[in-house]
Structure 1
Amino acid sequence: MTPLVLLVGLTIALGLVVDRFGGVWGPPLVSLWVWGLGGLLWWRERAWRPRLLACLVIATAGEVVLSLVWGLYDYRLGNLPLFVPPGHVLLYWLGLRLADELPTGLLRVTPWLALAAVSLLALARLDWLGPPLLLIFLACLRWGPAPRLYVTMFLLSLAMELWGTALGNWAWRGVLPGLGWPVANPPLAAGAFYCVLDLLSDKAAPVRRPATVG
């Protein structure tokens, strides 16, 4: 694990702590740091510059639609924090860097574990958003060009969602707006959104893919 990978991982984990408990200066300091680190990644990763920029634009649009318009989840101050769009880029870059190192066993077992967990939550009437998100994830694994990346992002985003909701940085609505379905906080299959993000970013700016498993 390179120092930059470690720095990005710590930024995501500790940045949420500073945002939550850093008082009035927490959010602006985290935003300044995350934007600066995102700029460093953009400067260093010449081959991935178009992909990272596409990720930033698409992720920002997704946040506006899902949070501010649809109201699927809410940030603690009721806004879209300035560190969130570049934060998506950091997490995405981390996935791109770690995808090749994903153990083959984890690649194969993750979909089955996700299927079991999401099914149990749905049967218990705790989360009905999980099944359609899981179908998106499984479809990406079956027909998408980068299964290692999808599984890596699924796991990374799950860890981030569990951490962020536990700290109280954001919370998913208990009832899905418009449909009335129960929703877990967070949905365990929320990583499916990152699969869609990758596919859209790839269409906008194709780059060399991480290796896949036959």
Structure 2
Amino acid sequence: MSLLASKSPWYATFKSLGLLYFFLLTGLFLDSYHFVKITPHAQWFANIAMFIVVTIVFYKVPKRSKEQMITAILIAIVGEYLFSIVMGMYTYRLQNVPHYVPPGHALVYIAVLYFSKASAIIKLRKKLEIFLTIIILIYASLFLIFGNDVFGFVLTIATLYILQNKPRERLFYLTMYVTVCVLEIIGTNYLCWKWPPIAWNVFDFLPSYNPPSGISFFYFLLDLGTLWLYKKRHKLAWKRMKNIRKIRLQSSN
């Protein structure tokens, strides 16, 4: 059964986010402090696992998604070295950028994209947006109250404010927020990486938690960059799609 055409929201969720979360839980374990006790080459096991899974996904998705995955990986390489190595926004266990991280960004991107585009999920879009917004506000508030996570809370409010004017992308980005929370909680608890007690370890007025609640705000740069490059490479196709949307909107009105 096709994920996008599935009439069951449970099936669509399992085939996209469910499998992604399971892989994050098991894949990051291979770079965790638990696995380091077994072998000093733990990170290479995580690299190999990521390479296998991303390769399988890459060959299963259509051409357009392949291009988006490649773009996401390239942007993630630049972003990871900029934010982690140059700016010190967060630090990986071995003070490097693990090879599994950039393709991991592409995997997260494509899983969230397919979830938000599934027909069974689109039918529940409004309800899901309300539900996810409530969950996000509760999550960020708890981190603010019990972890003094001012940095994460500010990013969360900024994210929700921006999404007010993004109705078509709202479900995708709300889902991305939750997915990044799952990713960050797993990664930081496994000690694969850590965040400093203040933003960038520089701004005292922005105390942070490990991980900050709203850090998915920076993942949006990856998503926007991937989409922007795709538009630039396929200007005619993108213009045609916008015209179709305009005609459908006029017909519905």
Give the alignment's TM-score, normalised by structure 2: 0.72
2:209 to 184, 192, 210: 184
2:102 to 67, 82, 85: 85
2:33 aligned with 1:40, yes or no?
A: no
Bigger Cα displacement from structure 2, 153-162 vs 124-133: 124-133
1:146 matched residue in structure 2: 169
Q: Which amino acid aligns with 1:29?
A: F
1:172–1:108: structure 2 CA closer, same or farther, 3 Å change rule?
same
CA positional deviation for 1:73: 1.1
Q: What's the CA shift string for 1:143-180, capped at 9, x where partnerless?
A: 33311111111111101111111111111111223312
Query: RMSD between aligned alpha carbons?
Result: 2.7
1:212 matched residue in structure 2: none
Q: What's the CA shift string for 1:95-150, capped at 9, x where partnerless?
A: 11222337543321322443344346446771221233113421442233311111
Q: Which amino acid aligns with 1:90?
A: L
Equivalent runs, 1:19-98 vs 2, <5 Å: 19-20=31-32, 21-22=34-35, 23-45=39-61, 46-98=63-115
CA distance in 2, matches of 1:173, 1:66: 13
CA distance in 2, matches of 1:68, 1:62: 10
Q: What's the CA shift string for 1:159-204, capped at 9, x where partnerless?
A: 1111111111111111223312211111111222223322221111
1:109 matched residue in structure 2: 131
1:129–1:59: structure 2 CA closer, same or farther, 3 Å change rule?
same
**Number of matched residues?**
209
Q: Which amino acid aligns with 2:28?
A: L
Contact kept, 8 Å, 1:140 with 1:195, in 2: the verdict is no
CA distance in 1, matches of 2:165, 2:225: 14
CA distance in 2, matches of 1:136, 1:84: 25
1:205 to 215, 230, 235: 230
CA distance in 2, matches of 1:165, 1:132: 20
Give the % identical residues: 25
1:173 to 185, 190, 196: 196
Q: Between Structure 1 and Structure 2, whose CA radius of gyration is higher?
A: 2
CA distance in 2, matches of 1:139, 1:65: 26
Give the alignment's TM-score, normalised by structure 1: 0.84
Q: Which has the higher contact order (CA 8 A, sep 6+)?
A: 1
CA distance in 2, matches of 1:75, 1:131: 23
Note the residue ranges of structure 2 that are not aligned, 5 or more in a row.
1-10, 232-237, 242-253
Bigger Cα displacement from structure 2, 120-129 vs 21-30: 120-129
Q: What's the CA shift string for 1:37-74, capped at 9, x where partnerless?
A: 22332232212122111211112222112111111111
Q: Which amino acid aligns with 2:210?
A: N
SS at match of 1:157: helix
Note the residue ranges of structure 1 that are not aligned, 5 or more in a row.
209-214
